[in-house]
Amino acid sequence: YLRKKVASKRIEIDFIKDVDLYKIEPWDLQELCKIGNEEQSEWYFFSHKDKKYPTGTRTNRATKAGFWKATGRDKAIYLRHSLIGMRKTLVFYKGRAPNGQKSDWIMHEYRLETNENGTSQEEGWGV
């Protein structure tokens, strides 16, 4: 799904919503992204990664109530021995760094390693 999203191709499903992750708090994602009426503990969405500074490389991961902090190393994702993407694990902290309070909200961010043109996907869409 992410490869199609990055390439601006039509996606046959409608349960993965576009969400501006950094303008919404994690506890509000459930209502936006849930499928049906059953209780769910996982949600999927597309979010465009924004830069923290216009000329910088760091990603802006702050919301009004807190921030998402990366934990550990990115995990490589392979398809038939070829690196196709990366998974980053993030935890939500309430408040502002460096004094934020760790919450139970965990997010796995998936990104393509390269797009169809062979350029890096460190910026751009993620799921």
- The predicted-structure confidence for 23-38, as pLDDT tens digits, reads as follows 889 998 877 777 777 7
pLDDT of the residue at 57: 58
Which CATH fold topology does 2-126 show? 2.170.150
Alpha carbons 45 and 31: distance in angstroms, whole number: 12
Judged on CB neighbours under 10 Å (0-12, 13-18, 19+), 79 is: exposed
Confidence of residue 122 (pLDDT cuts 50, 70, 90): very low
Q: The whole model's pTM is what?
A: 0.76
Each residue's pLDDT tens digit, 42-77: 888 887 766 665 665 567 788 899 999 999 999 999
